[in-house]
Chains A and B, each alone.
Chain A
Amino acid sequence: MLFLIKYFDTHLNESESVSVEKGLAYRICYGFLGTVIFIFLWTLIGYLIFTKPEYKQFSGLLPLPTIKAFYSLIFDNDFWSSVYASLRRVTVGISIAFVMGLPLGLLIGFYKKLELITYTPVQFVRMISPVSWMPVALLVFRSFESAIYFLIAISTVWPIILNTTHGVSRVNPQWINMARNQGAKNYQLLLKIIVPSSVPYILTSLRLALGVAWIVLVPAEFLGVSSGLGYIINDARDTMEYDRLMAIIIAIGIVGFILDGSIQLIQKSFPFKRTWN
């Protein structure tokens, strides 16, 4: 393994500072190396544990059966409808959180008093594990579906509020002075200066929200719904299809990775990021 790192080093080091494209190749190579190491460790630990006779039944958790199950997962309609259902829940949940959190975050950032008033409750509720809302959600909401929306919304609203507030507080005061000098009214300051200058922070908040939502989603889907990635994991456990279970876990990771990456791409696509604040 050390040899491999050394190999990459000698062959890619000189490209580090040369150009952006080469820098990208450099990063992809190391990213690939990381993936290889990850699969190697998985194989190693898996074989040490799951080849013992008493754990024989769990051998589906090993890489090879998992990859086979993953392959069949790709052609499995149930899987794709579950991915769709999960993505829908995350989208709806985050949308609710965003619609509530963004204006709240802007207002809290804009009015210092509001920040003082909301500080304690926000910090307090934020620290409650979203999963502990589960029983409450089940009591309050009639359908499991809306209970899941609630859980995702309540776990993602905090990063959205806090990051938006932070974005507002980081607005360059010179822009505010300039706009006031140009005759901007308060609502114009908000819409023309504060909101656009907070966009990077709002995108970061969405990225954090997505991470949280994707984590909360799976336990939330254990609740009683009959679709979604959390549901089919449970299902695979009940039917003792461990290779399928592991393949779904991998799929959850991949979808999350793609979602996070696409928000990062959006963040990077802003032409003005270098002079931002």
Chain B
Amino acid sequence: MKIRVENITKTYPLPKGKQFTVLKNINFTINEGDFVTILGESGCGKSTLLNILAGLLPVSSGEIWVDNKKIVGPHPSRSILFQQPNLLPWLSVEENIVFGCKLRGEVDNLRFRANQLIDIMGLSGFEKVYPHELSLGMAQRVCLARSLIGHPDVLLLDEPFASLDTFTRIHLQEELIDFWQVEKLTVIFVTHDIDEAILMGNKVILLGGHPSGIVKIFDIRMNYPRDMTSKIFFLVRTSVLKKFEEAFTDNKNLNPGEKE
């Protein structure tokens, strides 16, 4: 067992002493080498959950254990990639990629590893280019390379391809799956796109409700690469969607007055 999430609750303070609960009683475990997608509607707290897993946000209650160690803050072994590329504009592509390794003083073989990743991500020839000259898709590749260069155990992705066009997205999805299968790292991938969730994950965690809890965890036992047009894909999609609809109506019936 790689990651154990125990009873996570996250509340934000509101004006006048009130509190807003985003996540309530979240429990799940992730095995080493899993590709877990966290699926939920916008604003359901999935990014919050990911930031908590990264150690960038404190929890209100509950604990997270990684490799049987309780996490207390961010760590480079849990690398996070955000929705918007956040490259440093004063550094070139290459300098951005090696930024974290240089911070930590991991400079052995750095150039070789950087070149390897530049090659994999299709960034050859752009090493000396500055971020403002890159397209969104390329900038996100650079961010992905920066997340991967330090050999993280866990890769956390916060809707990383949501702002990309369809073709770039499909391409990057395939590349990520390839990389994951070769490197055997544990991936947690947040998305609001049901197709993406089923396409990528061997486990789909469906979040729903107000405050959000886990509706159901699906094990997706399809071989990679997956075909979005196949019948089995459609069946899985239908069952996930059905569960989501159920949770939505349940939630409405249970808490009719909570909408405001």
Partner of B99, one of A177, A182, A274: A182
A 69-88 to B, binary, CB cutoff 8 A, 1 in contact else 0: 00000000000000000000
In the assembled complex, A132 has its CB within 8 A of some CB on chain B? no
In the assembled complex, B131 has its CB within 8 A of some CB on chain A? yes
Partner of A196, one of B56, B79, B90: B90
Measured CA separation A270–B89 after assembly (Å) = 10
Chain B residues with Cβ below 8 Å from A183 are 74-76, 100, 103-104
Q: How large is the interface on A (under 10, 10 to 19, 20 to 34, 35 or more residues)?
A: 20 to 34
A 99-133 to B, binary, CB cutoff 8 A, 1 in contact else 0: 00000000000000000000000000000000000
- Please state if A182 and B76 are interface contacts (CB–CB under 8 Å): yes
In the assembled complex, B82 has its CB within 8 A of some CB on chain A? yes
Chain A residues with Cβ below 8 Å from B27 are none
In the assembled complex, A192 has its CB within 8 A of some CB on chain B? yes
In the assembled complex, A193 has its CB within 8 A of some CB on chain B? yes
In the assembled complex, A239 has its CB within 8 A of some CB on chain B? no
Contact flag A180-B130 (CB < 8 Å), given A199-B90, A272-B90, A275-B89: no
Count of CB-CB pairs between chains A and B under 8 Å:
66
Interface residues of B in 69-128 (CB under 8 A from A): 73-76, 78-80, 82, 84, 86, 88-90, 99-100, 103-104
Count of chain B residues with Cβ under 8 Å from any Cβ of A?
26
Interface residues of A in 215-271 (CB under 8 A from B): 270-271
Among A172, A183, A188, A270: residue with most chain B CB under 10 A? A183
**A253 smallest CB distance to B (angstroms):** 35
Chain B residues with Cβ below 8 Å from A177 are 51, 56, 80, 82, 86
**B142 smallest CB distance to A (angstroms):** 12
Kindly list 5 other residue pairs between chains A and B, CB separation below 8 angstroms, not including A275-B89, A275-B132: A177-B82, A177-B86, A178-B82, A182-B99, A272-B131
Measured CA separation A261–B84 after assembly (Å) = 36
Partner of A274, one of B51, B104, B132: B132
B 25-47 to A, binary, CB cutoff 8 A, 1 in contact else 0: 00000000000000000000000
**A177 smallest CB distance to B (angstroms):** 5
In the assembled complex, A181 has its CB within 8 A of some CB on chain B? yes
Q: List 26 A-B contacts (CB under 8 A).
A: A174-B84, A175-B88, A177-B80, A177-B86, A178-B82, A179-B100, A179-B103, A180-B56, A180-B73, A182-B79, A182-B100, A182-B103, A182-B104, A182-B150, A183-B103, A183-B104, A184-B103, A192-B103, A196-B88, A197-B88, A197-B90, A270-B90, A271-B132, A272-B130, A275-B89, A275-B131
